[in-house]
Structure formats: C-alpha cells, structure tokens
C-alpha cells in the first residue's frame, strides 16, 4: 500500500550475553528476522557487548570483537532496506565512546556518541567513556572506510529525518534530541540502559511522551533488560514509542506484574510523519528555536521502501471521545469545567436577576447545554430557576421528544414553559404568501394544517421556507426574552446543519466546539454517573432518540419522518472526517485510507464512507458563511471552528480540488 506518511519503528529489548559480542549479534540477527517489514529497528544501549561489562570495557579484545561483530551484522543485513541502530563501545584515538551505530544495506552509515555520561549514585560511565563533543573527529576509520562520527549527525530518507541520543541524554535539562528536532529530525531514537527502581517507570514514560510532544516528533526508546548483570542493578527492559505527546506502544518491563521476560521481545508501531510535518507547519513558533542551535548538522541519506504492508497502529473511529477508561472521569469533568467556566464568565456581565433562556427540544444538544447551565448555577450557588427552559413544539415535534424535554426540565429543577409555535408559523406563511408543500392555507387552523401535512409523501419533503420559518420563530421567541444560551454543536457548524440567524445564533454557546459524537457521549456519561431513577431514564431516552431537527411533517401516526443521519450520513463518520481534515490537514485519500482501519462503533461499506466524505467536503465548503458570524463560545478540545480563533476561511472557497483528489 502507499505509505501515506507512515514509518514503521520497532524497539527491542535484547536477551544479552554479557561481554559476548558474537552471541549478542546472533540474537540481534534472530530478532531482525522477525521484523522484515520494519523501517527502523532500535536496540538498547551497548547491546553488542552488554551495558554492564564495567572494567571489561578497558579490554582491547572486547572492543575489537564488538567492532567485528557490528560489521558482520551490517553485512548480513545488506539486502534489507531497513535502518538498524545498535549500541557498542567505540575506541577513537585516546578515548572510548558509548556509541549508536547506524547500519543500512551492508554499511555503517554513521556513529553517534553519547553526550552526557551519568557519574552519580549507581552510575560510573565516566570511569570508562568520554562524552561526545564537538571536538571529536568528524570521521573515523571503520573496516577500510571513512565513517561519519559525531553528535551532529542526522539520517534522512525524503521526509523522514532521524536523530539519535543515548539514555542520559534525555534526562538532562537540554536534551540533544531537542536540538535535533529543531534541525529537522522528526523521528528521535534513544538507546538506553535504564535500571528499574520503584516509580521510575512512570517518570521515564513521562519523559519520552513529553519529549515527543515538545519536539513534535516520534520518539522511540529501547532499554536493556533483566539479562544484563544484576550484580548491583536490575534493568527493566522498558520499550516505548510515542508520537507528539501520545504513547503509541509500550512493552512489558520488570516489575509490571506480568511476570519475567528473559527472552528478547519488541514493540512495533507506525508513526505518522506527515501529521508531524503538518503540526510543525502550523506551530509557527517551532522554527524560531533554530536561532539557538549549538551547531550545524550533517545529514546522511538512506532510503525507505516505496510501500508499507498493512497498518500497525490503532485508529480510533471516535477521535473526539476519551479512549482511556482510567482517564474518563477526569476528562469528562475537564470538559464540563471548561464549558461551565466559560458560561459563568459571560453570565457574570449580566444583571444578577437576568434570566438565562434556553430552548429545550428534548434532543442531545439542548440537553448538554442545559446540563452545563445547571452545573454552572450549582457551582456559583445560584438557584436553578434562574434558567428558563422553553420547549417550542412545531409541525415536526413528536410527543416523545416533547415529553422528554418537559421531564428533563422538571428533573433538573429549572423554570419550564411550553409554547406551541404552529399558530405563529401559520401567520408567517400567510404573510409570506407561502403554501407549505403546495397546501393552500386560507382559513386552515394550525391543527388542520398539521393533519393535511401528514399526507405529504416523503419524496416531496422539500420546503426550506417551511423549515426556516419554524426555526426562526423559535429564535424570535427566545431572543425576545433576553439572554439566550446557544445549543448548536461543532459538527452542525462544520456541515452547516442549522438555519442562518435562527438556531445558528445566540448570545453565548457553550457547545460550539463539542462535536456530535462527544455530545452524545457526555450526555450518556452524565446519565450513568451523576443521576439515578427517573432523571437517568429520561437522559438515556434522549441519548437513544434518533437525531432530527424535527422540522418536517409528522406521519399520520405522529412519528418523525426526518432523520439527520439519513440525509447527511453518520455523524460518527463526519466527526472522524472533521478531526482528520481540521486537526491533521490530511487529504481525502489519506482520510479514506484511515477510515478503512478505524475502530468504528458499527460497520460501514467503502461506498458509504466515500459518499459521506464527499458530502462532508461539499457542505463544509458551502457553509463557511454561517461559521463566519457565530456567537462567542469556548474552545474545549484541539479542534474549533471559531472565526476569531482556529479557523478563518473565505466563504466563497471551492471544494473541487478536494473532490477531484478521490481515488478512482
């Protein structure tokens, strides 16, 4: 398959034979045979000899054997289009260096020495090694060739640029990987020998994940394991792969409760270099750090294969929804906290007795907005009756949603009112000279029009004036009462699924950056964790109700004949597209590719996914004019469509270039 910017990395914990380079290289070879499709394979620090050789590092025979075996390894892998990184001691002039050797297609491309040598507590590396510094020679002799040597080496295959540091280098205040990233490296590798002590694994993981985020890079870490000498220490064998602040893969380790792993093992993940490049491009402060680079870097070329088999990476079908159960409660509390704080600040500018008006339809969005308003009142010690919920049934409102709205307001203890908008709508139709679906109004009452509308066949359901009048009457009634809390969500804004200057408008909208899939998730979460009895039952009924604006006529039986997802496609798909289009800047072809590997909550055919993606692009481009004038509201996640913040786009832009790029 095409790469779509993915690079496959494996981090290995090696079964080590201490001071036996031949045995270690044989084991490295055995592991590599299990990783034929990895682009980069990373082994631990000093893995060719073992990290715990101590004063044996002063033995010429050990150093000679290490170099011989590393060269043999390179030659054995000559037919592999694979970057292999191993650790070994390298003697240069009067010094000995703890190095990473970079092997590719039978050659040693370069040697990167460790810059920061720990020499405190249990570490004594300065007893044997010298730190890599700018004063080391730029090249050394290696098996009859001149091989680049130094801390200024980067390795590049088109858009993939690899930087390397060793163990302690990451733990210092200014890690070499930070400078490598600013110099262009987007894949950072760390060969390590990190011993295991109580609680150290968490700090180590935070270091790796945090550095990947600060550097907007992939960061792979491979540590020596429990077959190193245990004379004084136990090495954990912890391997990690992170990408821009997210942990993609983690290995077992000593002390994790999963038993002992004495044989070699590895983790593999596909990192997305295209996403990293897009993120760096958007983070305009990133390149400003180049003024602080301590040196110029040399770049050594290598090559990746043209294609990648499969995808070794989890792709969430619901990227806006928290995936980690351990983080679930904290994340939901955080979302509500941001919404409540934002609404509280805006409301604080109103008179103390100003009512907070909110249209409650019995649907998901108004339910979430009402829950936020109630929680805000509770936080601030205000009576919930300051919130005035108004439910406004129209020609498409079912008895079920109307009852859900009334029950919800009763359970939450807010002031509630019902206003039937149908008579006002009839007056508006007459004033406009409009015949809804061709029906002559003349002296028809609202109830008589409702009965006549039940006979309109679904294939004739196209009357925007009929829908827009209802939406605008509702907004008129709300705004005429004072301050209005908006309810529209991020997905509706992206697709333009709102009536301009109707449900599109309010005085403040706490939902504006919450996508539909997250709205549903949050309402369900609140129902299951914060309510019991009848209130929980009502909230779960709302979650289970098919999404609909309920603007088109009901059937003769009083059931809704309008389902949003039947018109637009699944919101799960639209939110998936929205995330990767806005957050990552991906092309339609890459989004389609990711959708084939995503863990959606239901199965979708390729044709359904592609048709929905086309709908997404058409509607997104056609509806920027609505997004250019929306009420204030808080940014909650990494994606927002506020024209004052994250998204500024001309209203007359054309989607054709995106639509033309779909694979045939």
Give catalytic residue positions. 45, 114, 167
The answer to whether 498 is a known ligand-binding residue is: yes
The answer to whether 366 is a known ligand-binding residue is: yes
Tokens of residue 589, six digits: 């072809």
The answer to whether 372 is a known ligand-binding residue is: no
Please classify residue 260 by burial: count the beta carbons closer than 10 Å to its beta carbon, then call 0-12 exposed, 13-18 middle and 19+ buried: exposed
Please classify residue 431 by burial: count the beta carbons closer than 10 Å to its beta carbon, then call 0-12 exposed, 13-18 middle and 19+ buried: exposed
The answer to whether 361 is a known ligand-binding residue is: yes
Cβ atoms of 513 and 385 within 8 Å: the answer is no
The answer to whether 538 is a known ligand-binding residue is: no
The answer to whether 365 is a known ligand-binding residue is: yes
Q: Can you name the residues that pair with 44 across neighbouring β-strands?
A: none
Residue 196 sits at φ, ψ, to 5 deg, of: -100, 125
Q: Can you name the residues that pair with 40 across neighbouring β-strands?
A: 9, 83
Cβ atoms of 593 and 315 within 8 Å: the answer is no
Looking at residue 216, the DSSP 8-state letter turns out to be T
* Alpha carbon separation from 604 to 318, 322, 569, 571, 572 (Å, rounded): 14, 22, 11, 12, 10
The answer to whether 360 is a known ligand-binding residue is: yes
The answer to whether 128 is a known ligand-binding residue is: no
The answer to whether 120 is a known ligand-binding residue is: yes
The answer to whether 284 is a known ligand-binding residue is: no
CA-to-CA distance for 599 and 591, rounded, in angstroms?
14
The answer to whether 245 is a known ligand-binding residue is: no
What DSSP string describes 332-361? Answer: HHHHHHHHHHHHHHHHTTS-TT--EEEE--
CA-to-CA distance for 573 and 570, rounded, in angstroms?
5
The answer to whether 221 is a known ligand-binding residue is: no
- Polymer length in residues for the chain: 664
The answer to whether 11 is a known ligand-binding residue is: no
Nearest to 185 by CA among 154, 213, 158: 154
The answer to whether 499 is a known ligand-binding residue is: yes
The answer to whether 200 is a known ligand-binding residue is: yes
Q: Give the distance from CA 565 to its chain's centroid.
A: 24
The answer to whether 194 is a known ligand-binding residue is: yes
The answer to whether 139 is a known ligand-binding residue is: no
Cβ atoms of 634 and 643 within 8 Å: the answer is no
Residues tagged in the binding site annotation for deamido-NAD(+): 468, 492, 497-500, 626
Residues tagged in the binding site annotation for L-glutamine: 120, 194, 200
Residues tagged in the binding site annotation: 120, 194, 200, 359-366, 468, 487, 492, 497-500, 626
Residues tagged in the binding site annotation for ATP: 359-366, 487
């Amino acid at each position: 398959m095409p790469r779509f910017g993915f690079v496959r990395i494996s981090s290995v914990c090696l079964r080590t034979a201490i001071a036996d380079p031949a045995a270690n290289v044989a084991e490295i070879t055995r592991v590599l045979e299990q990783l034929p499709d990895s682009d980069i394979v990373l082994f631990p620090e000093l893995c060719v000899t073992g990290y715990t050789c101590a004063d044996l590092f002063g033995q010429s025979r050990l150093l000679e054997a290490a170099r011989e075996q590393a060269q043999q390894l390179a030659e054995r892998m000559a037919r592999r289009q694979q970057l292999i990184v191993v650790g070994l001691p390298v003697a240069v002039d009067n010094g000995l260096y703890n190095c990473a050797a970079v092997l590719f297609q039978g050659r040693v491309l370069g040697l990167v020495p460790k810059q920061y040598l720990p020499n405190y507590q249990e570490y004594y590396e300065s007893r044997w090694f010298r730190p890599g510094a700018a004063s080391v020679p730029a090249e050394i002799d290696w098996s009859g060739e001149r091989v680049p040597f130094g801390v200024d080496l980067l390795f590049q295959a088109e858009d993939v640029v690899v930087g390397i540091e060793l163990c302690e280098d990451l733990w210092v205040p200014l890690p070499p990987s930070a400078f490598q990233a600013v110099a262009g490296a987007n894949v950072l590798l760390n060969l390590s020998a990190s011993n295991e002590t109580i609680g150290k694994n968490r700090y180590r993981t935070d270091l790796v994940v945090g550095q990947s985020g600060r550097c907007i890079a992939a960061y792979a870490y491979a540590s020596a394991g429990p077959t190193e000498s245990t004379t004084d220490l136990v090495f954990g064998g912890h391997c990690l792969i992170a990408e821009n602040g997210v942990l993609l893969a983690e290995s077992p380790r000593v002390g994790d409760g999963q038993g002992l792993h004495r044989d070699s093992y590895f983790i593999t993940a596909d990192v997305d270099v295209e996403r990293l490049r897009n993120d760096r491009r958007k983070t305009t402060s990133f390149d400003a750090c180049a003024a602080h680079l301590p040196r110029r870097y040399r770049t050594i070329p290598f090559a990746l294969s043209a294609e990648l088999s499969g995808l070794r990476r989890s792709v969430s079908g619901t990227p806006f929804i928290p995936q980690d159960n351990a983080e679930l409660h904290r994340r939901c509390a955080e979302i509500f906290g941001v919404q409540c704080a934002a609404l509280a600040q805006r409301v604080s500018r109103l008179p103390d007795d100003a009512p907070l008006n909110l249209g409650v339809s019995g649907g998901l969005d108004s339910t979430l907005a009402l829950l936020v308003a109630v929680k805000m009142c509770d936080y601030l010690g205000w009576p919930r009756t300051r919130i005035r919920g108004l439910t406004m049934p129209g020609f498409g409102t079912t008895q079920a949603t109307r009852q859900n709205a009334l029950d919800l307001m009763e359970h939450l203890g807010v002031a509630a009112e019902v206003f039937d908008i149908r008579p006002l709508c009839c007056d508006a139709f007459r004033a406009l000279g409009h015949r809804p679906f061709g029906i002559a109004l003349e002296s028809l009452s609202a109830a008589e029009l409702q009965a006549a509308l039940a006979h309109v066949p679904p294939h004739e359901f196209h009357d925007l004036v009929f829908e827009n009048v209802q939406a605008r009457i509702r907004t008129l009634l709300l705004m005429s009462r004072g301050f209005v809390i908006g309810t529209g969500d991020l997905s509706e804004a992206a697709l333009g699924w709102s009536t301009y200057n109707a449900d599109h408008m309010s005085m403040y909208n706490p939902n504006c950056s919450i996508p539909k899939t997250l709205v549903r998730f949050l309402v369900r979460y609140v129902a299951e964790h914060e309510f019991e009895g009848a209130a929980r039952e009502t909230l779960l009924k709302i979650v289970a109700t098919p999404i609909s604006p309920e603007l088109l006529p009901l059937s003769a039986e009083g059931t809704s004949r309008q389902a949003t997802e039947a018109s637009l496609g699944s919101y799960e798909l639209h939110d998936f597209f929205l995330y990767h289009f806005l957050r990552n800047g991906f092309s339609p072809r890459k989004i389609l590719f990711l959708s084939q590997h995503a863990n959606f909550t239901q199965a979708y055919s390729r044709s359904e996914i592609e048709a929905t993606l086309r709908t997404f692009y058409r509607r997104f481009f056609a509806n920027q004019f609505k997004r250019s004038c929306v009420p204030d509201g808080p940014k909650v996640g990494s994606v927002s469509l506020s024209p004052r913040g994250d998204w500024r786009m001309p209203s007359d832009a054309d989607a054709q270039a995106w639509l033309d790029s779909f694979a045939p």
